[in-house]
Chain A
Amino acid sequence: MNFARRFLAMYHLRWQRRRRRLRAVRKGRQLLEIRNRSARCGKNDIFLFATVHNENGRLPYFLNYYRNIGVQHFFIIDNNSDDGSREFLLQQPDVSIWHTTESYKRANFGMDWINNLLRKYARGHWSVVVDVDEFLIYPYCDTRPLAALTDWLDASGVQSFGAMLLDMYPNGPLHEQRYFKGQNPFEVLTHFDAGNYSQRLNEKYGNLWIQGGPRQRVFFQSNPGQAPALNKIPLIKWKRGNVFVSSTHTLLPRGLNKTYEDWGGEKISGLLLHAKFLPDIQQKAVRELRRKQHYAGGREYRAYGGVTEGSALHHEHSTPYTGWRDLEDRGLMSVGGWV
């Protein structure tokens, strides 16, 4: 009986995967290719995929950050920006751009579009899938390029790399900070919560569901179970048949979600530094709520709408960010077996 149930669950996931892939093909028709420079990519290049909506202020630092750690080509979907993001991206030699005016929400929060590009271009490549406010750090990222990590993962037979979202916030009231275009956001967002993350195993997809951090602590204190999920798999060696199910939280086939060790050891993992709480968060919350394109009716942005003058995420035990080694010591990420 147990066996039959398991078999059914597997079969169900298989169909879900097929459905998602078909959906990616269908929704892919909504994408208009504006500039495709991917033809000149090498066979071992590392790619990055992202969807962008009015992120002109953040894009310059974002692109430079990932260029520096060794991403060779960017695949960007512009979801109807009107702040000059597209013009800026067109000037970049290593960016291919697609454009769409369709609904972000109805494309499974952009994942259908991303799945479509991944399936077309990423096969056999290590690919980073992130938002524009997420910055990947991994063990030894200060001395070793991303390719060192992906080579090691290849040698270890690992195909996906987990990195929890780490919300960064300023050391003072949110609106008092200043951020200028191109600036390193972590000069403003200097602190993080070091250890209030709780995790549960999701039996269906086999991933860990992680919640916590300042967002749960401040905005979801009275209903912490609804706080946003922080588990992510932003780096993956793409294979035919892979598909992202919900944001980068969940992948199919199921085995790719097992970026953790359940027999005591630690697998290698990184973090996504999340630059969400830049000074424009309040305006952004209002704008995004009006756009009505976010998860669970924009529950999260409704909460940020309550961010008022003087509200701060900082508390007496906030930890300043000093680099990946400190995060590793604190047990937020792990070097796994990488020497």
Chain B
Amino acid sequence: MKLAIAILANTHLNRVAALTRYLHAQGLVVCVHVDAKVDDAAYRDLRASVPNDVLFANRVECGWGEFSLVKAEIVMCQTIFLAHPDVTHVQLISGDTLPIQSTQDLLDFLADNPNTDFIESFTLADNNWIAGGLGIERFTLYFPFSWKRQRLVFDLWVSVQRKLGFKRQLPKGLQPYIGSQWWCLTRSTIERILSDPRKEEYDRFFNRSWIADESYFQSLVRKHSAKIDSRSLVLSRFDHQGKPVVFYDDHLDTLRAQPQFFARKIWPGAQGLYRGLLEAATYVRPATPTGQSLSDMISKATSRRKVGRKGLQMQSRAPNKWYEPYVVTAAPYSVHMGVSSVFPNIDEWLSQRTGSTIKASPFADCLPSDQPPVAKGGIVLSDMVAGVSVRCHLTNLIWQYRDDHPVFPMSVDDGFKYHKLIATDKNATIYLIENAWLLDLATSDINNPDYLCREAQKKLEWEKRIIWLYENTETRATFIKHQLDEVLRNPQDILGQLQSNIARTDIRKLIDLPQLQTSERLRETIQTLKNRGLGIQDMLEVSVAQPVHHPILAKVSDD
């Protein structure tokens, strides 16, 4: 068994020379084809820098995806067979390929699989292979224009042919297959392909097809091979745009863990890869794969580029109003309105359970002289800073707290535009205790009934508007409303809801109830306001008349 390596090269000939020297030193037959477009001086330099018995095939001018590449491959095979009649296998690689396993492993592998052709060869029905390209039309249309250089004309010509219904006949008995260009074929298979009596006809056909280098051998091998193993020994991955994934120094561990024997395409400047893979004395394959899995890396990059991180607004992700007609945040969150009026220590109580409460309203009205609190990420909780871009303010806040269900207080007198924004967010759950502001007024030291009344009127109006807003059919947020009297009578009901809404772990026990705001003056305040004509709903007397003493309760518990 004797293996020959055929290298298709067109740029960075110094890297090709290093690769050639390495493979030659491993005792392999090496044949290099350099694109005829490369200038002669560089070609001569390459020949001078590799050992004398490295073969050089006659140069063909190659174009990307054109039949000339197949021609170059055929020339290389002929050159190899002529010089080395004892060669049994030919492995085709590109100039930017590197071996990722030892040569001995490769030879052993080929010896273990005698008479097998390793070539990716899929029917066109296997659409996974084609990333954003033409399918059967690769073979049924005409392609006189270069896709790389004359993209516009190329696309135009394709659509014209589609309109006019062009359809080229496939050679009789030939079914097209496609697959990676980088095959490893046995000598007998190649010879049978090259001596096929209908070769002329096939060549003519593929000459007019698109990306012949990925279909010529892939199709003909089906006619001539004794045994096909439909995979490539060269690792070659593509990203979502159909662009080959390029490997760099930091991929070294990942590459070594791959099952293939070669990898492309290597960035020409990846000094570490060239050193690590060509100069290292022996390969030590790690027993367990180290480094990230290649597929994970590619799918992560693809999802970053195509979908992005939900709820993130940043310098290179700015979804427009058609993509995100409503505000989109990163995680569910709760908004409390009036809760802290009833339970003044609710923050501490909640943070014992989640550790994620934001103590102040992110949209709180701030005077220029105030020092508003700063939340995670350096977000200033003030309406002035929020005003620069309300939407960003909210998405930033939720993004920063995305891992722990954030809770923040708002009040009915926070600006209506903020409520309007939150109302469109699916992730928001709003808990409102209606009329809770009455408790604030009752506990404040306002003694002037006129002023009290004005304040109450304002709050009442704002609250009405907000309830109207959140109960609107277009609202996407979850809105949960409680009555003050109910809450005062039965505080564990709402507390249980708040807790089960935010708890990440299974907290069922409702013990240590937070302190309840009590006010002797509440009833009196309500009466005052009512007497002045404010339409406040009838509050139940019981809860307000006496200060509430709640026992420590164990609500529902599994044990």
Question: A170 near B: Cβ within 8 Å?
Answer: no
The verdict on A265 contacting B304 (CB below 8 Å), with A140-B248, A195-B376, A216-B385 known, is: yes
The verdict on A143 contacting B250 (CB below 8 Å), with A262-B319, A266-B317, A317-B376 known, is: yes
Question: A107 near B: Cβ within 8 Å?
Answer: no
Q: Is the CB of B400 within 8 A of A195?
A: yes
Instruction: Tell me the smallest distance from the CB of A136 to a CB of chain B, in Å.
Output: 14
Question: A97 near B: Cβ within 8 Å?
Answer: no
A263 to B305: give the CA distance in the assembly, Å: 10
Instruction: Tell me the smallest distance from the CB of B209 to a CB of chain A, in Å.
Output: 25
Question: B415 near A: Cβ within 8 Å?
Answer: no
Q: Residues of B contacting A199 with CB < 8 Å? A: 313-315, 318, 389, 392
Q: Residues of B contacting A164 with CB < 8 Å? A: 314-315
Q: Is the CB of A194 within 8 A of B301?
A: no
Question: A83 near B: Cβ within 8 Å?
Answer: no
Q: Is the CB of A231 within 8 A of B305?
A: no
Q: Is the CB of A331 within 8 A of B385?
A: no
Instruction: Tell me the smallest distance from the CB of B151 to a CB of chain A, in Å.
Output: 10
Stretch at the interface among B186-194, B239-247, B278-286: B239-247
Q: Residues of A contacting B309 with CB < 8 Å? A: 266, 331
Question: B307 near A: Cβ within 8 Å?
Answer: yes
Stretch at the interface among A6-14, A126-134, A207-215: A207-215
Q: Is the CB of A221 within 8 A of B380?
A: yes
A173 to B147: give the CA distance in the assembly, Å: 60
Q: Residues of A contacting B307 with CB < 8 Å? A: 264-265
- Chain A window 266-279, contacts with chain B (Cβ cutoff 8 Å), 1 for yes, 0 for no: 11110000000000
Q: Is the CB of A143 within 8 A of B378?
A: no
Q: Is the CB of A143 within 8 A of B249?
A: yes
B401 (CB) vs chain A CBs: closest residue:
A195
Question: A217 near B: Cβ within 8 Å?
Answer: yes
Q: Residues of B contacting A221 with CB < 8 Å? A: 368, 372, 380, 382, 384-385
Question: B298 near A: Cβ within 8 Å?
Answer: yes
Q: Is the CB of A268 within 8 A of B380?
A: no
A195 (CB) vs chain B CBs: closest residue:
B377
Instruction: Tell me the smallest distance from the CB of B487 to a CB of chain A, in Å.
Output: 33
Interface-central residue, A195, A200, A259, A316, by most chain B CB under 10 Å: A195
**What's the count of A-B pairs with C-beta under 8 Å?**
189
Interface-central residue, A261, A263, A333, A339, by most chain B CB under 10 Å: A339
Question: A101 near B: Cβ within 8 Å?
Answer: no
Contact of A337 among B305, B320, B377 (CB under 8 A): B305
Q: Residues of A contacting B306 with CB < 8 Å? A: 264-265, 337
Q: Residues of B contacting A339 with CB < 8 Å? A: 239, 245-246, 297-298, 301
Contact of B243 among A156, A211, A265, A316 (CB under 8 A): A156
Chain A residues 126-166 with CB under 8 Å of chain B are 140, 143-145, 147-148, 151-152, 155-156, 162-164
A214 to B377: give the CA distance in the assembly, Å: 10
Interface-central residue, B372, B377, B400, by most chain A CB under 10 Å: B377
Q: Is the CB of B314 within 8 A of A334?
A: yes
Q: Is the CB of A336 within 8 A of B323?
A: no
> B interface, how many residues as a size bin?
35 or more
Chain B residues 286-312 with CB under 8 Å of chain A are 297-298, 301-302, 304-309, 312
Contact of A156 among B241, B249, B315, B375 (CB under 8 A): B241
A182 to B399: give the CA distance in the assembly, Å: 37
Question: A201 near B: Cβ within 8 Å?
Answer: yes
The verdict on A194 contacting B377 (CB below 8 Å), with A143-B249, A224-B385, A339-B245 known, is: yes
Q: Is the CB of A196 within 8 A of B267?
A: no
Instruction: Tell me the smallest distance from the CB of B515 to a CB of chain A, in Å.
Output: 26
Q: Is the CB of A261 within 8 A of B317?
A: yes
Interface residue tally for chain A (C-beta within 8 Å): 62
Q: Is the CB of A267 within 8 A of B305?
A: yes
Question: B316 near A: Cβ within 8 Å?
Answer: yes
Q: Is the CB of A335 within 8 A of B304?
A: yes
Q: Residues of A contacting B317 with CB < 8 Å? A: 260-261, 264-267, 334
Question: B511 near A: Cβ within 8 Å?
Answer: no
A145 to B239: give the CA distance in the assembly, Å: 21
Instruction: Tell me the smallest distance from the CB of B372 to a CB of chain A, in Å.
Output: 8
Question: A225 near B: Cβ within 8 Å?
Answer: yes
The verdict on A317 contacting B378 (CB below 8 Å), with A198-B396, A259-B316 known, is: yes
Chain A residues 230-250 with CB under 8 Å of chain B are 231
Q: Is the CB of B389 within 8 A of A200?
A: yes
The verdict on A194 contacting B241 (CB below 8 Å), with A216-B385, A337-B302 known, is: no
Q: Is the CB of A336 within 8 A of B388?
A: no
A335 to B304: give the CA distance in the assembly, Å: 7
Question: A197 near B: Cβ within 8 Å?
Answer: yes
Judged by DSSP, the binding face of A is loop
Q: Is the CB of B308 within 8 A of A265?
A: yes
Q: Residues of A contacting B316 with CB < 8 Å? A: 162, 259-261, 266-269, 333-334, 336
Question: A31 near B: Cβ within 8 Å?
Answer: no
Q: Residues of A contacting B250 with CB < 8 Å? A: 140, 143-144
A197 to B385: give the CA distance in the assembly, Å: 10
Q: Is the CB of B378 within 8 A of A214?
A: yes
A318 (CB) vs chain B CBs: closest residue:
B378
Q: Residues of A contacting B387 with CB < 8 Å? A: 224-225
A208 to B316: give the CA distance in the assembly, Å: 9
A46 to B381: give the CA distance in the assembly, Å: 43
Question: B393 near A: Cβ within 8 Å?
Answer: yes
The verdict on A337 contacting B241 (CB below 8 Å), with A196-B378, A221-B384, A317-B375 known, is: yes
Q: Is the CB of B323 within 8 A of A263?
A: yes
Question: B269 near A: Cβ within 8 Å?
Answer: yes
A165 (CB) vs chain B CBs: closest residue:
B315
A264 to B303: give the CA distance in the assembly, Å: 10
Question: B46 near A: Cβ within 8 Å?
Answer: no
Chain B residues 318-345 with CB under 8 Å of chain A are 318-320, 323-324
A100 to B310: give the CA distance in the assembly, Å: 49
Instruction: Tell me the smallest distance from the CB of A28 to a CB of chain B, in Å.
Output: 31
Interface-central residue, A156, A197, A337, by most chain B CB under 10 Å: A337
Q: Residues of B contacting A156 with CB < 8 Å? A: 241, 243
Q: Residues of A contacting B320 with CB < 8 Å? A: 262-263
Q: Is the CB of B377 within 8 A of A225?
A: no
Question: A193 near B: Cβ within 8 Å?
Answer: yes
Q: Is the CB of B378 within 8 A of A261?
A: no
Q: Is the CB of B297 within 8 A of A198?
A: no
Instruction: Tell me the smallest distance from the CB of A195 to a CB of chain B, in Å.
Output: 3
Instruction: Tell me the smallest distance from the CB of A232 to a CB of chain B, in Å.
Output: 9
Instruction: Tell me the smallest distance from the CB of A140 to a CB of chain B, in Å.
Output: 6
Q: Is the CB of A331 within 8 A of B248?
A: no
Q: Residues of A contacting B267 with CB < 8 Å? A: 144, 148, 151
Instruction: Tell me the smallest distance from the CB of A276 to a CB of chain B, in Å.
Output: 16
Q: Is the CB of A264 within 8 A of B380?
A: no
Q: Is the CB of B269 within 8 A of A260?
A: no
Contact of B315 among A152, A208, A338 (CB under 8 A): A208
The verdict on A211 contacting B388 (CB below 8 Å), with A194-B376, A269-B315, A337-B240 known, is: yes
The verdict on A222 contacting B384 (CB below 8 Å), with A195-B399, A199-B313 known, is: yes
Q: Residues of B contacting A216 with CB < 8 Å? A: 380, 385
Q: Which 10 A-B pairs have the closest CB atoms?
A: A195-B377, A193-B378, A337-B305, A198-B392, A269-B316, A222-B368, A198-B389, A143-B250, A262-B320, A267-B316
Residues on B close to A: CB < 8 A? 239-241, 243, 245-246, 248-250, 267, 269-270, 297-298, 301-302, 304-309, 312-320, 323-324, 368, 372, 374-380, 382, 384-385, 387-389, 392-393, 396, 399-400
Residues on A close to B: CB < 8 A? 140, 143-145, 147-148, 151-152, 155-156, 162-164, 193-201, 208, 210-214, 216-217, 221-225, 227, 231, 259-269, 315-319, 331-339
Give 11 A-B pairs besides A200-B388, A262-B320 with Cβ atoms closer than 8 angstroms.
A195-B396, A195-B399, A198-B388, A262-B318, A262-B323, A264-B317, A265-B304, A266-B304, A317-B374, A334-B314, A337-B302
